[in-house]
Structure 1
Amino acid sequence: MQKLRHTLFMLFFFAIVFAQGQGYELLKQRIDSVVTEAIQAEAFPGCVIYASLADSMIYLKSFGHHTYDSTRRVAVNDIYDLASITKVAGGTMALMKLYEDGRISLDDPIGDYIDKLGRKVGRVTFREALAHQGGLYPWIPYHSEVKRRNGKFRSKTISTNLDEEYNYPLGDSLYLHGEFYSKIKKMIRKSELSEDKTYRYSGLFFYLIPELIKNLTDTLYQDYLSAHFYDPLGVRTLTFNPREKFSLHQIVPTEIDTFFRMEKIHGNVHDEGAIMMKGISANAGLFSNAEDIAALFQMLLNDGKLDSVQYLSQQTIRLFTTAQYPNNENRRGLGFDKPLLEYDSIRSSVAKSASFESYGHTGYTGTLAWADPANDLIFIFLTNRVYPSRTYRAIYDLNVRPTIHQFLYDYLDGVLGENTEPVPNSK
């Protein structure tokens, strides 16, 4: 009987492999068609797409060029600015570890851990801040807040001249004065706070996380992430300030800045707040290639374990990737984004077939990282849709990311059939 069961399993497995081969060519053709149309419509100059199923990569391909001058083709190991994926791949990861170690309580006010936030902002809890339910103001243009009415920068902020005081290059012709974070923190403290506790997306709390990590662990935020996650995972390109470690040829340019740095942003973080924190924040700042950010998400999908190393508990991951306020029309987990509570093909960044268990995050630069435990599927989309300008929005008009994501689910349906069990998991 045992031999018979083994034979039936092998027949089932090889049937899947055969069906997979037949459907795979159609999957490739569909993705090629959508991406080709998108590049022609100037949705982005190029991209890298990755997908894995049951811990095995099923798709990895690069398209197009770094920029529209077509001088350098995109390679599958090229490094992109992840933008707000940093919120989950950086800040949220650190808080998950602190929570698991009993260093923070999710319903404590953040002001108990970070001083000088004031009575308004300081009383927002970790749970509220991470689920964007705390009434925090969405965004502060830190770069313009440091300018006088005549357009000149205020003293002790930014200068066009490099000297001992203004010694951190924001670009080729702008230099930051010493430590700027205290000014960012002051702006956050003085920002408007809504008393209406409903969903309101805000990045402000994530600028504060590096200070929180330092306060609780006496370790720099970036070192904490490297020690507990990035180094043991072996994800070398998942890093801040990549131009310090990698050739600019491997890093894809992000945008031609026409209002602040006035130059092509290449190897420096795109986010104006993060660059004024010297490239290191929890709101934005991380760069990566597709396989490295996928490895981090694979660890999460594997209930916190990868290559025999347990990074986080299954319970912690489930808590942080579960919607916290669904009865208040808020789909968000703790840090992680979730599918819309009611699918809308115009507003959604992911496929209609993505399960409610799935989670991930988008990035302003056009990036997306998404994991679906119900289907054991990971989807990574890296691009620079803001090149040459953030006014380029065809990636949304063409629904590029959710369309490709849906192709992957259609492919799985074709392999598995509507009434069969999922592919045997190799984990």
Structure 2
Amino acid sequence: MKKSFLSLVFFALMMNMGVAQRELIHALPSKLGLDEAYINQKVDSIMNMGIDSLAFPGAQLLVAINDTVIFHKAYGFHTYDSIEPVKLNDLYDLASVTKISGPLPALMKLVDEGKLDLDVPFSTYWEPWKHQKDKKDLTLREILAHQAGLVPYIVFLQKVMRNGKLKKRFIHQTSSKKFQKQAYDDLFVNDRFERKIDRIINRSKVSEEKKYNYSGLSFLIFPRLIEQITHTDYQTYLHENFYQPLGCHTLGYLPSTKHFVNAIVPTEIDTLYRKTLVKGWVHDENASLFGGVSGNAGLFGTADDLAKLMLFYQHYGSVDGQQLISRRTVKEFATVQYPDNENRRGLGFDKPLLDNSELPLEEAYPSPLASAASFGHSGFTGTFVWADPEKHVTFIFLSNRVYPSRDHRELYGLNIRTALMDVFYKAMASNLKN
């Protein structure tokens, strides 16, 4: 007689000891009592529809339930010429998923250690904002919940270009003592340009109306704040405190300099700035002008590494029985902060729409069956990661929807990621009924 789904869940939880593991465990969906044929048919249909609709040339999906990876499959090719197929260990430009994979765990740890306070003015820690009347009283809580009124995005690329050409005082084609930040194979940024960026951020307007308005501006500052507080190089701090303990072997910045055997999926054919196919270097122009190392974008990684990170979050800061960040702090960051202001966001994390469970699939974000406790983030290049600690689901979707151009927006119009997630929640719900 077939084991009940609940008994299989219990078995999986016991097998994995209820904590994130440094090495992922894999099993067929049927081992957890799920309808394997249903899952494969639905996912294949959605993914192939996405490729046929030019939402992306290729993509991959990884789903874990109860800490066990029960689905990891690649579809399509790196580009529409159908030469290089997508592989499970490909490296992707994570875009804004960087925000919760780079600076955010560091900020959580610093809050944990009492080195940052969410509710005192951010200017307590970031000196330049002490002298800005509209920024000096903003708190880290408001900033991370996108409730502070900061402008969403500033296009710094406009400052390094004139009439479609790069200004030589800001960008050189070879490195030198003053041009050490590498933006692409043959593009190097003046080290002093960072000061110009800071001046523009400092002078940027802050809305007096405090409501949800997504802004990545502060994430350009966070890496340097982390270095200032920890007296450690930002990348070194992330590697030693998070990526190494989690067993995330590829997660990091500047993959082109690291000689990975993994193929790197290209992003956009850039006709404005780099004048070529962007591959192995960050797609986001602002992160590029920081030499590819930023808090708003710049991280690359595999689906496996992102699964390890999201399982770590799903277990509220625990891996292999070691608590890297306190459970209390991770829970706080993963909680909706300003629901009365119709703001669904946690601290850094995205959350389901406030009325998500009541919405039809085509209007929901993410699946309406995801719990209110779930959280994650999406990225401009077509990436999406999500963790559901209540229903024990981890969801990783990677694509390069910006190939060949960022004008390709069918990924959003077709609601592909939400539909894919819904397949697994419905498979779980079906087994609970049986």
Query: Structure 2 length normalisation: TM-score?
Result: 0.89
Give 3-state SS (helix, strand or coil) of 1:170's partner.
strand
Contact in 2 for aligned 1:114/1:211 (Cα 8 Å): no
Does residue 1:142 correspond to 2:190, yes or no? no
Residue by residue over 1:389-417, the C-alpha shift from the partner in whole angstroms, topping out at 9 and shown as x without a partner, is 00001111111100000001001112222
Say if 1:161 and 1:22 are closer, same or farther in 2 by CA, change over 3 A. Answer: closer
State the 1:146 CA deviation: 2.8
- Separation (CA, whole Å) in 1 of partners of 2:407 and 2:363: 18
| Equivalent residues, number | 411
Say if 1:288 and 1:14 are closer, same or farther in 2 by CA, change over 3 A. Answer: closer
Contact in 1 for aligned 2:284/2:297 (Cα 8 Å): yes
Contact in 2 for aligned 1:349/1:401 (Cα 8 Å): no
Contact in 1 for aligned 2:369/2:422 (Cα 8 Å): yes
The answer for the alignment partner of 2:122 in structure 1 is 110
Select which of 288, 291, 301 maps to 1:275.
288
Contact in 1 for aligned 2:9/2:32 (Cα 8 Å): no
Say if 1:374 and 1:112 are closer, same or farther in 2 by CA, change over 3 A. Answer: same
- Separation (CA, whole Å) in 2 of partners of 1:247 and 1:300: 26
Contact in 2 for aligned 1:171/1:263 (Cα 8 Å): no
The answer for the alignment partner of 2:205 in structure 1 is 192
The answer for the alignment partner of 1:126 in structure 2 is 140
Say if 1:14 and 1:339 are closer, same or farther in 2 by CA, change over 3 A. Answer: closer
Give 3-state SS (helix, strand or coil) of 1:122's partner.
coil
Unaligned runs of 5+ in 1: 1-7, 419-427
Does residue 1:320 correspond to 2:336, yes or no? no
Matching residue's letter, 2:396? I
Does residue 1:353 correspond to 2:374, yes or no? no
The answer for the alignment partner of 1:219 in structure 2 is 232
Matching residue's letter, 1:100? D
Contact in 1 for aligned 2:314/2:392 (Cα 8 Å): yes
Residue by residue over 1:144-179, the C-alpha shift from the partner in whole angstroms, topping out at 9 and shown as x without a partner, is 12334x455456322356555334442244331124
Contact in 1 for aligned 2:97/2:379 (Cα 8 Å): yes
State the 1:192 CA deviation: 1.4
Residue by residue over 1:194-216, the C-alpha shift from the partner in whole angstroms, topping out at 9 and shown as x without a partner, is 01111110000111001111111
State the 1:24 CA deviation: 1.3
Q: How does 1:61-80 map to 2 (within 5 A)?
A: 61-80=73-92
Identity %: 42
Select which of 407, 413, 419 maps to 1:391.
407
Give 3-state SS (helix, strand or coil) of 1:237's partner.
coil
State the 1:123 CA deviation: 2.6
Contact in 2 for aligned 1:45/1:387 (Cα 8 Å): yes
Does residue 1:33 correspond to 2:49, yes or no? no
Q: How does 1:355-374 map to 2 (within 5 A)?
A: 355-374=371-390
- Separation (CA, whole Å) in 2 of partners of 1:19 and 1:155: 60
Contact in 2 for aligned 1:20/1:415 (Cα 8 Å): no
The answer for the alignment partner of 2:349 in structure 1 is 336
The answer for the alignment partner of 2:394 in structure 1 is 378
Give 3-state SS (helix, strand or coil) of 2:282's partner.
coil
> Comparing 56-65 with 342-351, which one deviates more in the overlay?
342-351
- Separation (CA, whole Å) in 1 of partners of 2:429 and 2:395: 16
Q: How does 1:87-98 map to 2 (within 5 A)?
A: 87-98=99-110
Residue by residue over 1:82-135, the C-alpha shift from the partner in whole angstroms, topping out at 9 and shown as x without a partner, is 111111111111110000000011011111111223232333210000000000
Unaligned runs of 5+ in 2: 12-28
Contact in 2 for aligned 1:325/1:331 (Cα 8 Å): yes
Query: Structure 1 length normalisation: TM-score?
Result: 0.90
The answer for the alignment partner of 1:422 in structure 2 is none
Select which of 399, 413, 422 maps to 2:429.
413
Say if 1:21 and 1:273 are closer, same or farther in 2 by CA, change over 3 A. Answer: same
- Separation (CA, whole Å) in 1 of partners of 2:165 and 2:5: 71
Give 3-state SS (helix, strand or coil) of 1:116's partner.
helix
- Separation (CA, whole Å) in 2 of partners of 1:236 and 1:372: 24
- Separation (CA, whole Å) in 1 of partners of 2:136 and 2:173: 35
- Separation (CA, whole Å) in 2 of partners of 1:207 and 1:284: 9
- Separation (CA, whole Å) in 2 of partners of 1:201 and 1:347: 20
Give 3-state SS (helix, strand or coil) of 1:297's partner.
helix
The answer for the alignment partner of 2:191 in structure 1 is 178
Select which of 419, 424, 427 maps to 1:403.
419
Give 3-state SS (helix, strand or coil) of 1:216's partner.
helix
Contact in 2 for aligned 1:198/1:330 (Cα 8 Å): yes
| Alignment RMSD (CA, Å) | 2.4
